[in-house]
Structure 1
Amino acid sequence: MWRNVRRPWTAGRLYEETLEAAMASRPVDAEARLSSPPRASILLDAEVQPMGPLAPAEDIRTDPATWDPRLERAYYDGDLRAGEAVLELYSRGVDVSRIQRAFSVGAFGLSRLRRMVPTRWSITAVDDIISARLRERIKTYDWIPEHRVYSLEAMGNRWVVLMSPGVWTYESIEAWYPGTTWNPTEDVAFVGDWEGPLGRVGYAGMGGCYYAARLAVTEALERERRQARVLVLREIHRDQLMPLGVWLVRESVRAALRGRPARFDTLEEALEEAGRHLDLPLRFWLRVSETLGGGRQETLSRYL
């Protein structure tokens, strides 16, 4: 059992085996001895994938594994701050999910400050660190030359990403249909957050989904060396039987942005196209949007 997440190495071999699995260059086989029978339950969480029956581990054994040399270098550098390690590993092509896993077990940071953190914290921290750095680069680029609409439908979700010429702003809005996991009511529930050119001051109220989508958006703009105003819209329908974690958000928005967008000269045309990919009337989205509402009432009045 873990006794101190601020000093995880005091758990001895239990921590060493966990670290071995997190740092391995490929998946490893593991065997665990449990201190009690597993509880017959499923853990559902908006940030991470569903987890099956749970039980405390008394001992863990993993097959010998070769560490990823890029992760290993960051681990043994006790003077490298965690944020710097994340950015360096990302620039070296390490997959985001692997960085998040190693971050969770306290593999990065100044030696005296390393600690284990919950998986949900590590996921959001890594998404935030990387996308914040990409955002600062993006703000130095020229604007995209037209309005764009990207769309995707997958796993009970509908996605629309609207990009417009302008100084960087970003907003993400989700609409949870009645009967979905986080909405037991009879009405559609909206949740969203946004940021302007200076970024955010506090943590986004909608949680890790905000930062996961922001990472996908900033990656796409960085590849193009362009700047834009961005609005991400997501409808969650009853077809999504359970939450699958923020990786679904990141990978879905990435997939949408790899597609060919519809391009328009005006925002009005782009909004009409966006509405064709959504079930909810556009007027509902515009009423809750902070970035499309402020300063654009006259332009958008016919949609309200």
Structure 2
Amino acid sequence: MGKSGYAQRDLIKFNFANLDLKGLDFFGNSPPAVFVGRFGYPKVNVGVLSPTQKEESSYLMDNPKEWAKQGLKDQDILKLRAQLVNARFQSSVKNFDSRLLDLSQEVGMAHKPVDMEISLKNKPKNLLKMENVAKPLSNNANVKNIKLTENPKIKTVVDKTVSDGDMKSVEGLYKLYNKGMDENFLSKILSIGLLGKQKNRRLVPTRWSITATDDTLGKELLKDIRFYQEADYQVYFSGYLGNFYMIMFFPDIWGFELFEMEVPLKTNPWSKTGNFYGTDYEDYFGKKGYVEETAGGYYACRIGILEKLSELRKQGAVLVFRFITNEDKFPLGVWVCREATRISLRNKVPLDFEDKESLMNYVRAKIMKDFRVDANELFKVSKLMHRNSKQKRLASYI
């Protein structure tokens, strides 16, 4: 979910100064970045993103992990994204017989900026579009031609994985993830139709591929985590770009529950029951169906949690409260949830507690002081806390 200030709109328009583009042709360097739209499916727009001149900072224009690492503010990120032209063309999601699509796939596989010449059919529209899932997208223009002026730099493991037409997409995603590829790269090559069995490959709208990547990686991590010993009573807390995460670990079998709320509190537009929060839950066996109230933020938060448990070689019941403050001014994409969760979990010395009650007392005091939120209202409706109170242990499931 996102703030109610922009929750009712799927798209926000934010204008910047015009691009310095004299004609319809330019020489730039893609970060590298591609974008697959969803409108008109199964015939969609495919775009190659590039600044209108060669920029040393090009790599930073499509790099959420680096944005978080550098602590970039929202305006910094918007200005980076506003420099990109989305040079787009139409394609069927199944028919890959297109030179421009082949070129887009090459760009999508690259791990360093790719120099290119781009010819457009029309001037880019001076518009930056923002939504809750994908990163901000700017300056749409129909493309006449794209010519790569250098060979894209593609890692051998990526080339081999993409060339394997017998490998399932789940296997390909997890293999590359374990080789150090991040979600931004993985969702990109999934969206551009480069993973999965050859006969099943197709374009996947970027918005869908982001959530699919987070969900797939999470499920794969869980296969090992379910066999680890139980975690300790621990609390992690921090945030990024106005999104703060209170993360509670309880010694128990795997379970995950996320509550999201805007502070100061107001009715949550995604809540099915008119509450101030949206919430979703999964038990030891995983999420059944798609989340109802917390959308892609659920999977983005969960992947960060599972990475931490994998690092600790522990499993546990994990309860998360997300507080969306007034510092969150623009919908920048679900990557904010993923990176804010990781930042919160980065503390190598978390708060440890002897028992559940002392942990809960700390959380009650902390979120009342910081956000004026009564934790008891969340604890009493938490499915995970209800399950936890029954003390159904790991031995019951194995």
Short-chain TM bin? 0.7 to 0.9
The 1:232/1:56 distance shift into structure 2, 3 A limit, reads farther
* 8 Å contact from structure 1 (residues 20, 62) kept in 2: no
2:181 and 2:290 map into 1 onto residues whose CA distance is: 26
Letter aligned with residue 274 of structure 1: V
Find 2:344's aligned residue among 256, 264, 273: 256
Deviations 1:39-94 (A, max 9, x none): 34332211112222323333333342121211111111111111110111112222
Identity %: 29
Find 1:34's aligned residue among 117, 120, 125: 120
Letter aligned with residue 2 of structure 1: Q
Letter aligned with residue 290 of structure 1: K
Match of 1:85 in 2: 172
* Structure 1: gaps (5+ residues): 298-304
Match of 1:268 in 2: 357
Shift of 1:22: 0.9
1:96 and 1:114 map into 2 onto residues whose CA distance is: 19
- Corresponding residue SS for 1:252: helix
Find 1:95's aligned residue among 182, 206, 211: 182
2:259 and 2:251 map into 1 onto residues whose CA distance is: 20
Shift of 1:109: 1.0
Match of 1:20 in 2: 106
2:97 and 2:214 map into 1 onto residues whose CA distance is: 29
* 8 Å contact from structure 2 (residues 240, 336) kept in 1: no
* Residues 1:106 and 2:199 are matched in the alignment: no
Match of 2:327 in 1: 239
Shift of 1:96: 2.5
Match of 1:292 in 2: 385
Letter aligned with residue 3 of structure 1: S
RMSD over aligned Cα, in angstroms? Answer: 2.4
* 8 Å contact from structure 1 (residues 150, 256) kept in 2: yes
Shift of 1:228: 0.6
Shift of 1:134: 1.0
- Corresponding residue SS for 1:115: coil
Find 1:156's aligned residue among 239, 242, 257: 242
* 8 Å contact from structure 1 (residues 178, 188) kept in 2: no
Match of 2:158 in 1: 71
Match of 2:310 in 1: 222
- Corresponding residue SS for 1:112: helix
**Which 4+ runs in 1 deviate beyond 6 A?**
none
* 8 Å contact from structure 1 (residues 80, 110) kept in 2: yes
1:16 and 1:162 map into 2 onto residues whose CA distance is: 46
* 8 Å contact from structure 2 (residues 239, 341) kept in 1: no
Shift of 1:196: 0.2
Shift of 1:29: 3.3
* 8 Å contact from structure 1 (residues 138, 222) kept in 2: yes
User: As a proportion of its length, which structure holds more strand?
Assistant: 2
Q: What TM-score, normalized to structure 1?
A: 0.88
Match of 1:143 in 2: 230
Shift of 1:220: 0.8
Shift of 1:177: 3.7
Shift of 1:25: 2.4
Letter aligned with residue 208 of structure 2: W
- Corresponding residue SS for 1:3: strand
Q: What TM-score, normalized to structure 2?
A: 0.68
1:204 and 1:63 map into 2 onto residues whose CA distance is: 44
2:174 and 2:128 map into 1 onto residues whose CA distance is: 34
Find 1:172's aligned residue among 258, 261, 266: 258
* Structure 2: gaps (5+ residues): 1-88, 391-398
Deviations 1:199-249 (A, max 9, x none): 112011222111111111111111111111001211111111112212111
* Residues 1:46 and 2:139 are matched in the alignment: no
Match of 1:3 in 2: 91
- Corresponding residue SS for 1:122: helix
